[in-house]
Amino acid sequence: MTDATSTILETKNLTKQFGKLTAVDDVDFTVEKNETVGLIGPNGAGKTTFQSLITGEYEVTDGSIIYDGEDITDTEPYQRARKGIIKKFQVTRVYGEETLVENLRMAIRGRNASTLALLRSHDDSDIDDRIHELLEIGNLDHKAEALTKNLSHGEQQWLEILMAVSAEPELLLLDEPTSGMGPQETNETVELLENIKERTNTTMLVVEHDMDFIRKVSNKLTVLHHGAVLAQGTVEEVQNDDKVEEVYLGRD
Amino acid sequence: MSVAAKVNRFTGSPALVGKLLGLVVLLGIPVLFPPSDVTTWTVYVAFAILAVSIDLVWGYTGLLTLGHAAFFGAGAYFAAKALPGYPGIPDVLVLFVLVPIFCGLLALAIGWFLFSANVTGSYFAITTLIVAIVFEQIAGEFVSFLGGFNGLYNIPNMEIVGFELETIPLYYFTLFLLIGFFLLSQWIVNSAFGRQLRGIRQDMERTALFGYNTELARLLVFTLSGAMAGIAGGMYATINNFVSPPLLGFVLSTQVVIWVAVGGRGTLTGAVLGAVLIQFLNSTLSEVLLNYWNIALAIIFILVVLVAPRGIVGLLEDATTKLRKRRGSGSGLANQSQVSGGKQND
């Protein structure tokens, strides 16, 4: 399924402490280009915190983050996004007071625009075709000019995935993309991600609780437990791991 | 395009019609009111510039500033000292170069401190409020240089190439400035940068994680807004010929925030409308209602917060939408409250 050629993300001894709580504990982790890695674990395992360290939302307590060969441990979040690390949040973070088209414009323009270029830019018609193509992928083209706050939960989730994809990420972080969805919407999300993968071959790091979903979209899994790596490998390897069975999959 | 189509297009844009009507009223003030009232209206217009500057920061970017009068007052005091003090320097240079540089640098310094320390939300509001209190105290304490609580008197009217601007020319000049700042602000909010500001208002972290330098954007708009407020203050000094510490204080700052809220936060028309309307009501109704006017103003503000959070402009937009629905004119426009054309035409 993947055509891994080189490492895009590597963490070395990555640690995050909140007071006395160690949310991420000495994690060594790699993601190869073009693969889709699932990050799983029980509630409170540190999955979302791990992703937030990658994006720069949280400062690292110890360890380092290497992205595409460059140490980005102390880099500002917006600079990481410009380098190609884009995140879709668990609880949707779309711009409710804007239309779907404006949301996508916001996402598309972010990575490549200096403040002065943004000030000078008064015409976005050059990206209209791309926006409508994206909306078609998500079956949202009929709501292009609706205010985002009026969309259903599932539609907002898809819009945010499309926004993240529209920014042309090199590394797409998806935090529970099926959160709050029913089986039908979850299946449609699998199709959407497969569609995106087929078109863009984007590297993805997916945090998810739904094991059926993660099996369908990932080809490699990492299991976190109490902030530390419990197991890593292919989906089959991780599924057959006794420790994983005991702390996580056994309860599924 | 036929004449009928042109008329249709014109009347199909209530916002544009409203703006033009407002402009016509403001242009007609010297005709509608006696000269003694025109100076008062000139002050209204100067404060409307301050309201626009606050709307950029609060309405569009979501940074509730409760101390913006500090920049307005700093501009007023700078002009009060520089206009009579350095006769060799043209007034235009003082008011439109030195004052905005001074106030812009003040805003830059305060903004840099606040944004680099990631002061947001209510902490931002409180800190800016404290800045205004400190500025007001400084003006009150420095009696020899800034006149203390008595302020500075006998500030001359501004001159342009040797011509002193008095009542009516000064009104039109100030109105010309307001129109200029309105158009500049409109140009900003309709740009991709304006979209970034709206993104910051709705979700700053999300916006940064798409690659936008939100700290630089906030600093830029705060600095620009401070410079704009400073120019408004400089104009106030030359209109009123007198400045005093309350011009820098939090009372004025919060008053203007209320004007913007009543007019319609996040719309430039709302900022101007709120500023002009409430000042006009203040001067007319306070004579009738005496001290009860402040209570009436408080009630108006509470009603706006509870009933019309988008202010008068929001109410007018909703009414227009309902009217169109009832008339059934243009199905695409019937859902105007549900959709947006993308650009913030205001």
The secondary structure of B82-120, three-state, reads HHHHCCCCCHHHHHHHHHHHHHHHHHHHHHHHHHHCCCC
Contacts of B207 in chain A (CB under 8 A): 106, 110
In the block, which residue shows the tokens 């099926």?
Answer: A178
Q: In the prediction, which pLDDT does B342 show?
A: 45
Q: In the prediction, which pLDDT does B8 show?
A: 56
Which helix (DSSP H) or strand (DSSP E) does residue B127 occupy? helix B121-141
Show the tokens assigned to B184: 């500049």
What mean pLDDT is reported for chain B?
Answer: 89
pLDDT category at B176 given cuts 50, 70, 90 is very high
Gap between the Cα atoms of B263 and B310, Å rounded: 8
Is B202 close to A98, i.e. CB distance below 8 A? yes
Work out the average pLDDT over B207-235. Answer: 97
The helix/strand/coil state of A16 is: strand
Q: Show Cβ contacts of residue B173 under 8 Å, excluding neighbours closer than 6 positions.
A: B158, B160, B165
Q: In the prediction, which pLDDT does B84 show?
A: 87
Angle at CA B297, nearest 5°, toward B73 and B180?
45
**Interchain CB contact of A106 with B (< 8 Å):** yes
Burial class (CB within 10 angstroms; exposed 0-12, middle 13-18, buried 19+) of B241: middle
Residue B9 has pLDDT above 70, yes or no: no
Q: In the prediction, which pLDDT does A222 show?
A: 94
Q: Show Cβ contacts of residue A139 under 8 Å, excluding neighbours closer than 6 positions.
A: A158
pLDDT category at B301 given cuts 50, 70, 90 is confident
Facing residue for B202 by CB, picked from A57, A96, A163: A96
* Bridge partner residues of A174 (DSSP): A88, A206
Q: Measuring CA to CA, how many Å separate A165 from each of A88, A117, B60, B186, B201? A: 9, 22, 27, 31, 23
**Interchain CB contact of A81 with B (< 8 Å):** yes
Best of A102, A114, A143, A161 to mutate (most B CBs within 10 Å, chain B): A102
ipTM of the complex: 0.92
Is B209 close to A111, i.e. CB distance below 8 A? no
Q: In the prediction, which pLDDT does B288 show?
A: 82
Q: In the prediction, which pLDDT does B191 show?
A: 95
Q: Show Cβ contacts of residue B273 under 8 Å, excluding neighbours closer than 6 positions.
A: B22, B263, B264, B312, B313
In the block, which residue shows the tokens 């307001």?
Answer: B178
Best of A109, A120, A121, A166 to mutate (most B CBs within 10 Å, chain B): A109
Gap between the Cα atoms of B190 and B180, Å rounded: 15
Q: In the prediction, which pLDDT does A211 show?
A: 83
Query: How do beta strands B159-160 and A70-71 pair?
Result: unpaired
Residue type for position A229: V
Q: Radius of gyration (Cα) for chain A, nearest Å?
A: 18
- Give the pLDDT confidence of B227-284 residue by residue, as tens digits: 999 999 999 999 999 999 999 999 999 999 999 999 999 999 999 999 999 999 988 8
pLDDT category at B7 given cuts 50, 70, 90 is low
How far off is chain A from B5, nearest CA to CA, in Å?
24
Q: In the prediction, which pLDDT does A3 show?
A: 43
Residue type for position B323: L
Q: What is the pLDDT along chain A (252 residues), one digit of tens a residue?
A: 434 458 999 999 999 999 999 999 999 999 999 999 999 988 889 999 999 999 999 999 999 999 999 999 999 999 999 999 999 999 999 999 999 999 999 999 998 778 889 999 888 888 999 999 999 988 999 999 999 999 998 899 999 999 999 999 999 999 999 888 888 889 988 998 998 888 888 999 999 888 888 988 998 999 999 999 999 999 889 888 888 888 765 554
Show the tokens assigned to A115: 């403040």
Contacts of A89 in chain B (CB under 8 A): 206
Residue B3 has pLDDT above 70, yes or no: no
Contact A109, A128 (CB under 8 A): no
Q: Show Cβ contacts of residue B67 under 8 Å, excluding neighbours closer than 6 positions.
A: B127, B128, B129, B130, B131, B132, B133, B135, B250, B253
Is B342 close to A101, i.e. CB distance below 8 A? yes
Is B217 close to A95, i.e. CB distance below 8 A? no
Q: Measuring CA to CA, how many Å separate A249 from each of A212, A219, A243, B142, B206? A: 11, 17, 9, 72, 32
Work out the average pLDDT over B51-63. Answer: 97
What angle, rounded to 10 degrees, do the helices at B214-240 and B192-208 form?
130
pLDDT category at B308 given cuts 50, 70, 90 is confident
Show the tokens assigned to B1: 């395009």
- Give the pLDDT confidence of B133-157 residue by residue, as tens digits: 999 999 999 999 999 999 999 999 9
Residue in B with minimal Cα distance to A125? B342
Contact A166, A84 (CB under 8 A): no
Query: How do beta strands A7-18 and A171-175 pair?
Result: unpaired
Of B268, B265, B198, nearest to B228 by C-alpha is B268
Gap between the Cα atoms of B238 and A84, Å rounded: 52
What angle, rounded to 10 degrees, do the helices at B250-263 and B121-141 form?
140
The overall pTM is greater than 0.80: yes
Angle at CA B174, nearest 5°, toward B173 and B180?
90
Q: Considering all CA atoms of chain A, what is the largest pairwise distance in Å, rounded to the nearest integer?
A: 59
Handedness of CA B323, B324, B327, B331 (dihedral sign): negative
Domains of chain B: 14-328 (1.10.3470)
Is A57 close to B209, i.e. CB distance below 8 A? yes
Of A203, A231, A240, nearest to A218 by C-alpha is A203
Q: Which of residues 185-224 of A touch B (CB under 8 A)?
A: none
Fold of A7-95+168-251: Rossmann fold (3.40.50)
Contacts of A78 in chain B (CB under 8 A): 208-209, 211-214
Handedness of CA A216, A218, A219, A224 (dihedral sign): negative
